[in-house]
Amino acid sequence: MHNTTGHRSPAHRHSGNPSDSNAVLHDQEFAQFRDMIYRIAGITMSPAKKQLISSRLAKRLKYHNFTSYGDYFRLITSPQGKAELQVAVDSLTTNETHFFREPKHFDFLRNRVIPARKAGRGLRIWSAACSSGEEPYSIAMLLDELLGKEPWEVVASDISTHVLEKARNGLYPAERIPEIPKNYLNRYCLKGVGDHHGTMLIEQFLRDRVRFTPHNLTETPAKLGEFDVIFLRNVMIYFNQETKRQVVARLLPLLRPGGYFLVGHSESLNGVTDDVRLVVPAVYQKPER
């Protein structure tokens, strides 16, 4: 693995780790946040998620010296609270992810999608809920290995501007190293040394091959072009059935005929759309014209 003294750790606005607020999230306040995140992001939060909302927003209460979640809710729904509203949405929509998560999907790219592409034709893949970037960088490593300088592009989007910034930086804790195959580590990753010990940086040339853009899945996508593969993994579990239908209906027009739509292995498009067919578990194909 390469070593470097040249990459910088991300800047932090505050030093230390602020302790959590002692405020209690009451049921009425929970309902307000639950309804807000459903309205903005289409995410359904059951009563079991009350503790998640409480813990993720506690530091924001501490930051603003609020003593109640109600006070914080009034801030983010006020005209002067638009910036903090984005922080709240970021806090509540960021999901755990890993490099090369669900490896059978990457085997499918390697063994089915890439060999079947038409010679000279560019391959475009969309990571439609990319979180902090592990998924699109995993895709990019595979494409760079197999296609090299042939035309290919990875587009990655997420509702959270905070995680998109983190993804663009490509800087991760060294604990993520075991998730990446050794040959990819040697080729695409820099191990921090000295002051940067304990971090790993994605090589600049690979970061340049991934285009990150903000996108809310409950809204019509911008003109991103047509894709050969769309990854929408481990996000629909947070949607109710109607929201799933609406989200998939917005994305499928951007999938070329014959293209593949990938969902998480705990997810299914059964009852969501009839416009694709199941190929292998968690992989669907749009019919050719």
Q: Which residue has the higher pLDDT, 7 or 102?
A: 102
What tokens were used for 286?
């749009």
pLDDT in tens, 168-184: 999 999 999 999 999 99
Place of tokens 């909302």: 53
pLDDT at 193: 85
Q: Residue 205 and residue 183: Cα distance in Å, rounded?
A: 16
pLDDT in tens, 106-120: 999 999 999 998 777
Domain boundaries, the chain: 10-93, 103-285
Which residues are annotated as catalytic?
56, 158
pLDDT at 229: 98
21 closest CA partner among 70, 61, 73: 61
pLDDT at 107: 97
pLDDT at 126: 97
Query: For 103-285, which CATH superfamily applies?
Result: Vaccinia Virus protein VP39 (3.40.50.150)
pLDDT at 208: 95
Greatest C-alpha distance within the chain: 62
pLDDT in tens, 122-180: 899 999 999 999 999 999 999 999 998 889 999 999 988 888 999 999 999 999 999 99
pLDDT at 5: 37
Radius of gyration over alpha carbons of the chain, in Å? 20
pTM of the model: 0.81
Across residues 87-102, what is the average pLDDT? 84
pLDDT at 1: 44
pLDDT of 217 > 60? The answer is yes
pLDDT of 27 > 60? The answer is yes
214: three-class secondary structure by DSSP: strand
pLDDT of 104 > 50? The answer is yes
pLDDT in tens, 41-65: 778 888 888 888 898 899 889 889 9
pLDDT at 215: 92
User: What percent of the chain stands above pLDDT 90?
Assistant: 56
pLDDT at 37: 84
Q: Residue 73 and residue 82: Cα distance in Å, rounded?
A: 12
CA dihedral 170, 63, 78, 247 (to 10 degrees): 30
- Asked if residues 99 and 176 have their Cβ atoms less than 8 Å apart, the reply is yes
Across residues 229-237, what is the average pLDDT? 92
14: three-class secondary structure by DSSP: coil
Phi first, then psi, for residue 205 (nearest 5°) are: -65, -30
Confidence of residue 21 (pLDDT cuts 50, 70, 90): low
pLDDT at 8: 41
Q: E strands within 150-236? A: 152-158, 171-173, 189-192, 199-202, 210-214, 227-232
Q: Which CATH architecture has domain 10-93?
A: Orthogonal Bundle (1.10)
Q: Which residues pair with 211 in a beta bridge?
A: 155
